[in-house]
Amino acid sequence: MLPYTSMFALTLALALGATTATARDAAKAPTPQQRMADCNQQASDMTGAQRKSFMSACLKGEAVAMPAKQTQQEKMTACNAQAGSRNLKGADRRIFVSTCLRSDDTVSTPAH
């Protein structure tokens, strides 16, 4: 049988160990403010619906894959294909392609 002082020391050590583990686990989980800051930083180059859906998933703590950003050449190809499928010519085509290149939601397949 353990003397009372040894039993007290053992109980105290177990209690401190449990408190330390709980504090360590709490330190790993980000606060809502930290999560918002992290998600905002990750979504800094997103806009519109893409940003909204990313932020929603990120704030819920869901794993979110960052979408691949199109290169300028890929965007130009996609915008020209869309303009061609819409049979745009002259000034209308230039305006459409210019607007399309500025948008973040350009798709790589032409719209029909």
Looking up tokens 């504090």 gives 23
Q: How confident is the model at residue 13 (pLDDT cuts 50, 70, 90)?
A: low
- Closest by CA position to 65, among listed 48, 53, 49: 53
What type of residue sits at position 30? P
Domain ranges of the chain: 1-30, 31-67, 72-102
Alpha carbon 24 to chain centroid, angstroms: 25
32: burial class by Cβ within 10 Å (0-12, 13-18, 19+)?
exposed
- Distance (Å, whole) CA 6 – CA 112: 80
**What mean pLDDT is predicted for residues 21-40?**
74
22 or 61, which is more confident: 61
